[in-house]
Amino acid sequence: MSRPAVLVARAVFPEVLERLSTYFDVEANPDDTPWSREELLARLAGKSGLFATGSVQVDAALLDACPQLRVVANMAVGYNNLDIAAFNVRGVLATNTPDVLTETTADFGFGLMLAAARRMSESERFLRAGQWKRWRYDTLTGSDVHGATLGILGMGRIGQAIARRGALGFGMKVIYHNRSRLPAEQEAPIGARWVDKATLLSEADHLVLVLPYSPESHHAIGAAELAAMKPTATLTNVARGGIVDDRALIEALRERRIAAAALDVFEGEPAFDPGFLDLPNVVLTPHIASATVATRRAMADLAADNLIAALTGGTPPTPVNPQVLAPR
């Protein structure tokens, strides 16, 4: 019996490729230059599975052009790159990599928030530029994180992990806004309080965005929302770029309508608005919140587990749309 063919769209750990090769005929992106859509389409011909990352777009037209495709395993917890409605209609399985990156991403999100509040990147640039000549009472003074109010927009797994760090490690008061409230037994240990979005914006000293990207969350933070925040507040985004209106944020940072921001994600990344580069009060990182060796390996292993299970009659551990598995 011939083995299923799978396409691995971006570079991945050699050990993971080897493991996939024991089950499948694997075609892997040899040099990790992202494939154009045309090239991706051409290479997907005859493939039953696709190992993707968050930067590989799979929409209805692509699924129609590749009718033999049965599963797309996303090496990411977010799956806004996959048109899940189109997957459902065509009975194609999508999988993601939740849980394994939660704590690592929360570490980084919390660290970014600290970096913005305490002006860490700005301080290092100051020192490297030879500007440190003397002590002054107000040199690079930031705002406290301990004891401050932490606002979380999107209280899923990563949001809760950041809230735990704030409440239990830094004595922060936690408020959050989410479509649904957490059960009381999850709110209680961290003293988290659900509030409406307006209250979240006006009360948070440090606002962290951890919600999935969707048409509903597009530009959830724009000029009006930034205007509703405290002028001393910081904004941290470890979710997706499109959630923030970058132009509006640049204006707000320039005019000091909020104190600082920390961004790991950008609309249109890896491109980003060069206006950020002129601002001292923004910390910028290249979408690395999940980037520890152990976590990236766990993500790759989980994506491989999903692909293998889906194409060998097993039960994929983390399906996004398990309903398509039922009739098979």
Site string for ligand 8YV, 81-120 (x = CB under 6 A): --------------------x-------------------
**Does residue 4 touch ligand 8YV according to CB under 6 A?**
no
Distance CA 109, CA 158 (A): 9
Distance CA 133, CA 127 (A): 9
Helices first, then strands: H and E counts in the chain = 13, 12
**Does residue 318 touch ligand 8YV according to CB under 6 A?**
no
Q: Which is nearer to ligand 8YV, 156 or 275 (CB)?
A: 156
Q: Label residue 7 left, alpha or beta by phi (over 0 means left) and psi (-120 to 50 means alpha).
A: beta
Q: Which is nearer to ligand 8YV, 79 or 176 (CB)?
A: 79
Q: How far is the CB of 279 from ligand 8YV (least distance, A)?
A: 24
Q: Which is nearer to ligand 8YV, 77 or 309 (CB)?
A: 77
Part in contact with ligand 8YV (CB under 6 A); list of ranges 75-83, 189-197, 226-234, 274-282: 75-83
Return the residue nearest ligand 8YV (CB atom): 54
DSSP 285: -
**Does residue 212 touch ligand 8YV according to CB under 6 A?**
no
Among residues 290, 303, 310, 316, the one that binds ligand 8YV under rule CB under 6 A: 290
Q: Which is nearer to ligand 8YV, 189 or 317 (CB)?
A: 317
Q: How far is the CB of 327 from ligand 8YV (least distance, A)?
A: 29
**Does residue 178 touch ligand 8YV according to CB under 6 A?**
no
Part in contact with ligand 8YV (CB under 6 A); list of ranges 32-40, 43-51, 74-82, 161-169: 74-82
Q: Which is nearer to ligand 8YV, 142 or 319 (CB)?
A: 319
Among residues 6, 58, 77, 249, the one that binds ligand 8YV under rule CB under 6 A: 77
**Does residue 163 touch ligand 8YV according to CB under 6 A?**
no
Angle formed by the axes of helices 102-117 and 120-128, nearest 10° = 60
DSSP letter for each residue of 45-96: TT-SEEEE-TT--B-HHHHHH-TT--EEEESSS--TTB-HHHHHHHT-EEE-
Smallest CA-to-CA distance from 110 within 244, 206, 213, 245 is with 206
Size of the site for ligand 8YV (CB under 6 A): 8
Among residues 4, 54, 109, 166, the one that binds ligand 8YV under rule CB under 6 A: 54
Q: Retrieve residue 216's tokens.
A: 């509903």
Q: How far is the CB of 130 from ligand 8YV (least distance, A)?
A: 36
**Could you give the C-alpha distances from 327 to 28, 182, 185, 324, in angstroms and in order?**
30, 33, 37, 7
Q: How far is the CB of 215 from ligand 8YV (least distance, A)?
A: 17
Q: Which is nearer to ligand 8YV, 4 or 241 (CB)?
A: 241
**Does residue 76 touch ligand 8YV according to CB under 6 A?**
yes
Virtual CA dihedral for 39, 45, 51, 55, nearest 10 degrees?
A: 30
Q: What kind and span of H or E run contains 209?
A: strand 206-209
Of the chain, the end-to-end C-alpha distance in Å amounts to: 20
Angle formed by the axes of helices 14-21 and 293-311, nearest 10° = 10
Distance CA 303, CA 75 (A): 5
User: Which residues are catalytic, by number?
Assistant: 240, 269, 287
The residue ranges that bind ligand 8YV (CB under 6 A) are 53-54, 75-78, 101, 290
